[in-house]
């Protein structure tokens, strides 16, 4: 305000000065004075304009002061709050946009994946036969057999044959063979009356194999109320009486030195299958062809258009667990009284458990099918691949085995295969595995055992290891897993 007053007073004094001197000057100098007056007048106008501008500016500053004074601190914070809110909304909107873009990218990825998958899945050679239908057919046939076996053997002292359990790849839902799928079943055997089975671990010289012998022991039946009338006690009746009135004991039929003999059991079962066949309803339209086998019973049933190949193994259950000793063996020279421990039943139960947990578009069996096919001829056993996949199935949630994760899971299998070879170690899936589903029952010694290394031979044989690594490299080049 002081500056305005000063300028106004200056302007007034200039006007007063011009008026007082005008009266005394002569005519000659009048035009000169007039010129000066005009110049002073322009100066006045400029000064007035400047005064006005200054006043306006100061009024503006006063409005700023007034506004700042009028806004209380809470209002300032409210304004800040609104700004923060707006900023937040902006970032939220940006994030939504970003997610939408990502979603589009995933859709595109799915689209690309879809094309890759179609191509890949077409290359997987799936068995010609409907595995599930084949399994049902095989079990139905074996159930019919079991009924007849029960009638025929009811008064004998041969092992009691229980209902067949489907095991192996077909019953797990895959097959390493496109044609001639083998439907493998295990028939549990229990001792006949007057006998008992005792499993004896016999792994001398085979640190990595758990072999058993089945010792057959005669039991006293003198006190058995129901059997006392019709069955003579093998232990306490005179031998002469037993020989003339009763069939021989199991020790005299299927045993060698008190141990159940695999070869004798297979021959006996072979005869039973052939003898019972004509009585079965299937015999009216199907043809039975028995195939040679020393440690199992293999046969083919055909009707001209369809054909089922069935392999029957015999086993004795360890307690009430899912582990058996069976006639099956992977080694060529095995004694006829040797019954290797088998985990087939536990494994098929594991695959059934997985199938129950799996969403409809789960492709874990396709993974198994693909890798089992490409392994053929490369020296890696199917069991090795299956073990790697079982370990992965037991650790990766089933939702992650759906169609859209197929390539990732194939990559996992490939990485694990390489790691196993590099580390020369692949743990057995069942033995010593404490993370199995509760549905699978294991004997205590299996549960507490140290998991055996399935590829222990690679650790001690460098030539075998380098051969395996070289085969793996070939596998990488020749199969479609190399891009992962």
3-state secondary structure of 75: helix
Closest to Zn ion by CB, 233 or 272? 233
**376 contributes a contact to Zn ion by CB under 5 A:** no
Closest to Zn ion by CB, 27 or 239? 239
Closest to Zn ion by CB, 61 or 239? 239
Nearest-approach distance from CB 245 to Zn ion, in angstroms: 15
Closest to Zn ion by CB, 228 or 415? 228
Nearest-approach distance from CB 136 to Zn ion, in angstroms: 45
Residues in contact with 415: Cβ distance below 8 Å, sequence separation at least 6, in sequence order? none
Q: Which of residues 102-121 bind Zn ion (CB under 5 A)?
A: none
Nearest-approach distance from CB 235 to Zn ion, in angstroms: 5
For the stretch 127-134, contacts whose Cβ atoms lie closer than 8 Å and that sit 24 or more positions apart, written own/partner, are 127/170, 127/175, 127/177, 127/178, 127/179, 127/181, 128/178, 128/179, 129/181, 131/170, 131/173, 131/174, 131/175, 131/181, 132/173, 134/170, 134/181, 134/183, 134/308
- Residue 53 backbone class (left: φ over 0; alpha: ψ -120 to 50; beta: rest): alpha
Q: Which of residues 168-227 bind Zn ion (CB under 5 A)?
A: 220, 222
End-to-end Cα separation, the chain, in angstroms: 82
Closest to Zn ion by CB, 220 or 275? 220
Nearest-approach distance from CB 223 to Zn ion, in angstroms: 7
Closest to Zn ion by CB, 248 or 437? 248
Closest to Zn ion by CB, 23 or 240? 240
Closest to Zn ion by CB, 233 or 385? 233
Are residues 239 and 272 in contact, defined by beta-carbon separation less than 8 angstroms?
no
Nearest-approach distance from CB 238 to Zn ion, in angstroms: 12
| Angstrom distance (rounded) from CA 461 to CA 457 | 6
DSSP assignment, residue 310?
Answer: E
Nearest-approach distance from CB 237 to Zn ion, in angstroms: 8
| Angstrom distance (rounded) from CA 422 to CA 416 | 10
Closest to Zn ion by CB, 111 or 236? 236
Sign of CA dihedral 182, 267, 339, 249: positive
Site size toward Zn ion (CB under 5 A) is: 5
Closest to Zn ion by CB, 238 or 278? 238
| Angstrom distance (rounded) from CA 369 to CA 382 | 10
| Angstrom distance (rounded) from CA 357 to CA 401 | 11
Closest to Zn ion by CB, 112 or 222? 222
Closest to Zn ion by CB, 99 or 219? 219
3-state secondary structure of 466: helix
E strands, 180-338, where? 182-190, 195-201, 211-218, 255-256, 259-260, 287-291, 297-302, 307-317, 324-326
Nearest-approach distance from CB 221 to Zn ion, in angstroms: 6
| Angstrom distance (rounded) from CA 442 to CA 2 | 104
β-pairing verdict for 160-161 and 165-167: unpaired
Sign of CA dihedral 103, 106, 108, 111: negative
Nearest-approach distance from CB 192 to Zn ion, in angstroms: 15
Nearest-approach distance from CB 250 to Zn ion, in angstroms: 16
| Angstrom distance (rounded) from CA 341 to CA 256 | 19
Nearest-approach distance from CB 460 to Zn ion, in angstroms: 52
Residue appearing with tokens 């086993």: 315
Q: Which of residues 302-331 bind Zn ion (CB under 5 A)?
A: none
Sketch the per residue contact string, 22 through 61, with Zn ion: x for CB under 5 A, - otherwise.
----------------------------------------
Strand partners, 307: 302
Nearest-approach distance from CB 234 to Zn ion, in angstroms: 8
Sketch the per residue contact string, 224 through 263, with Zn ion: x for CB under 5 A, - otherwise.
---------x-xx---------------------------
Nearest-approach distance from CB 220 to Zn ion, in angstroms: 3
Sign of CA dihedral 21, 25, 27, 31: negative
Residues forming contacts to Zn ion in the complex (CB under 5 A) are 220, 222, 233, 235-236
């Amino acid at each position: 305000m002081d500056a305005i007053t000063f300028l106004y007073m200056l302007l007034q004094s200039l006007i007063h000065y011009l008026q007082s001197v005008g009266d005394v000057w002569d005519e000659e100098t009048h035009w000169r004075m007039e010129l000066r007056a005009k110049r002073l007048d322009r100066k006045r106008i400029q000064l007035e304009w400047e005064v006005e501008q200054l006043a306006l500016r100061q009024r503006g500053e006063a409005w700023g002061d007034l506004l700042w004074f009028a806004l209380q601190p809470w209002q300032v914070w409210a304004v800040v709050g609104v700004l923060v809110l707006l900023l937040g909304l902006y970032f939220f909107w940006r994030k939504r946009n970003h997610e939408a873009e990502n979603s589009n990218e995933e859709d595109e990825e799915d689209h690309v994946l879809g094309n890759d998958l179609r191509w890949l899945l077409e290359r997987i050679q799936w068995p010609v036969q409907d595995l599930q239908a084949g399994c049902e057919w095989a079990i139905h046939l074996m159930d019919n057999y079991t009924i007849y076996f029960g009638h025929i053997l009811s008064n004998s002292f041969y092992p009691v044959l229980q209902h067949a359990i489907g095991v192996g790849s077909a019953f797990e839902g895959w097959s390493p063979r496109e044609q001639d799928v083998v439907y493998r079943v295990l028939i549990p055997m229990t001792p006949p009356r007057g006998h008992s089975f005792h499993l004896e671990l016999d792994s001398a010289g085979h640190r990595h194999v758990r072999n058993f012998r089945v010792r057959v022991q005669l039991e006293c039946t003198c006190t058995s109320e129901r059997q006392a009338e019709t069955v003579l006690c093998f232990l306490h009746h005179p031998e002469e009486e037993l020989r003339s009135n009763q069939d021989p004991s199991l020790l005299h039929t299927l045993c060698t030195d008190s141990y159940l003999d695999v070869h004798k059991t297979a021959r006996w079962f072979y005869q039973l299958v052939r003898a019972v066949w004509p009585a079965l309803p299937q015999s009216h339209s199907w043809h039975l062809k028995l195939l040679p086998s020393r440690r199992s019973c293999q046969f083919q049933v055909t009707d001209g258009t369809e054909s089922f190949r069935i392999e029957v193994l015999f086993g004795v259950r360890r307690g009430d667990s899912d582990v058996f000793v069976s006639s099956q063996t992977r080694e060529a020279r095995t004694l006829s009284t040797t019954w290797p421990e088998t985990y087939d039943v536990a494994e098929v139960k594991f695959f059934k458990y997985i199938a129950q947990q799996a969403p409809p578009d789960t492709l874990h069996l396709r993974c198994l099918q693909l890798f089992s096919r490409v392994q053929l001829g490369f020296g890696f056993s199917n069991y090795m691949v299956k073990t790697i996949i079982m370990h992965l199935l037991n650790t990766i949630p089933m939702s992650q085995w759906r169609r859209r994760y197929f390539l990732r899971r194939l990559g996992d299998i490939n990485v694990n295969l390489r790691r196993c070879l590099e580390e020369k170690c692949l743990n057995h899936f069942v033995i010593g595995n404490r993370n199995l589903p509760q549905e699978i029952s294991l004997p205590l010694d299996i549960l507490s055992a140290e998991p055996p290394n399935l590829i222990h031979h690679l650790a001690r044989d460098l030539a075998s290891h380098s051969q395996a690594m070289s085969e793996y490299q070939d596998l990488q080049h020749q199969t479609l897993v190399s891009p992962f």
